[in-house]
Amino acid sequence: MFGKLAPVVAFLAFTMQPVFGMAVAPRSSQDVFVPPVTYPTEGAVWTVGQTQNVTWDISNAPVNITNSKGLILLRKSGITTPVILQNGFDILLGSIEVTVPWVVEGTDYSLILLGDSGNDSPNFTITGSGVSF
């Protein structure tokens, strides 16, 4: 079971380094914007192929944002995967449509919204592929 995931995790560890490298670069704390994800909520159910709006709270956005371009990655069991749900959008939009990817079914999916920094969503379910492991 975990043997199947090992290459994915290795790939992830490699590809995520630049992202986390950027996150630790020194910068003014004033400019760091870490908006909380407001949807998906805990226990939400998404079906493969659907369009869903991911939403986040922009009410505390600073005037100048270090990195205003957002990236949303899928997470499973608390581990960030290389699956890109959306990229290059304005972090101040507060919501963006994503297409639910064709993945194994599970109740332990979440997503991470990266701009200046990363914020994990609550866990939600993806269903509809008919495949689980």
Ligand X SMILES: *[C@@H]1O[C@H](CO)[C@@H](O)[C@H](O)[C@H]1NC(C)=O
Choose which of 4, 29, 51, 130 interacts with ligand X (CB under 6 A): 51
Residue 57 binds ligand X, judged by CB under 6 A: no
41, 55 Cβ separation under 8 angstroms: no
Cβ proximity to ligand X, 21 vs 29, nearer residue: 29
Cβ proximity to ligand X, 2 vs 21, nearer residue: 2
Residue 90 binds ligand X, judged by CB under 6 A: no
113, 68 Cβ separation under 8 angstroms: no
**Peptide bond connecting 40 to the previous residue in cis, omega within 30 degrees of 0:** yes
> In this chain, which stretch among 3-11, 16-24, 33-41, 49-57 interacts with ligand X, using CB under 6 A?
49-57
Burial 98-122 (b: 16+ CB within 10 A, else e): bebbebebbeebbbbbbbbbbbebe
Cβ proximity to ligand X, 17 vs 77, nearer residue: 77
Residue 77 binds ligand X, judged by CB under 6 A: yes
Report how far residue 117's alpha carbon sits from residue 95's, in angstroms, rounded to the nearest whole number.
17
Residue 108 binds ligand X, judged by CB under 6 A: yes
Binding site for ligand X (CB under 6 A): 51-53, 63-64, 77-78, 95, 97, 108, 110, 120, 122-123
